Amino acid sequence: MPDIAIGSLRPDEAERCAELETILFDGDSPWPASAFVPERHTRLFAARDDGRLVGYAGIGLLGNSFFPESEVLTIGVDPAYQGRGVGYALLCTLLDEADRHGGAVFLEVRTDNDPARTLYERNGFVTVGVRKNYYRPSGADAYTMKREAQEQR
């Protein structure tokens, strides 16, 4: 992996995230810059190469102390950096957050996104369902995947 630094997403990076969303999720309602503002129960992260944002990820920390769970909201990596471990590093960061929160972790992934599905399976996720016509406006289906609660990493 190149010398990539993972840290919290800064407000001034929201526009770059939206640009990448348009490239990565063309045809599927990419997130606007306003979606990359952390809320009370979300954590957003950035992957940077020499200060330039090359990837981003977000997780929602849901439930309560009795029934916690988390949801991977998004992971996106600049096409020039795909296949170089950036997505893995971002996923590990999200899973560390989820493990501190406790409970299972869920996500949705397009059924035709084999690289992402493989990454998730290698990190303990299993397919638990299919959501028909999940992505709009393309109408693509999504797998719902789950990773059982883990001890804190």
Q: Catalytic site residues?
A: 108, 120
CB-based burial, 84-118: b 16+ in 10 Å, e otherwise? bebbebbbebbbebbbebbbbbbbbbbbeeeebbe
DSSP 12: G
Provide the terminal-to-terminal Cα distance of the chain, rounded to the nearest Å.
21
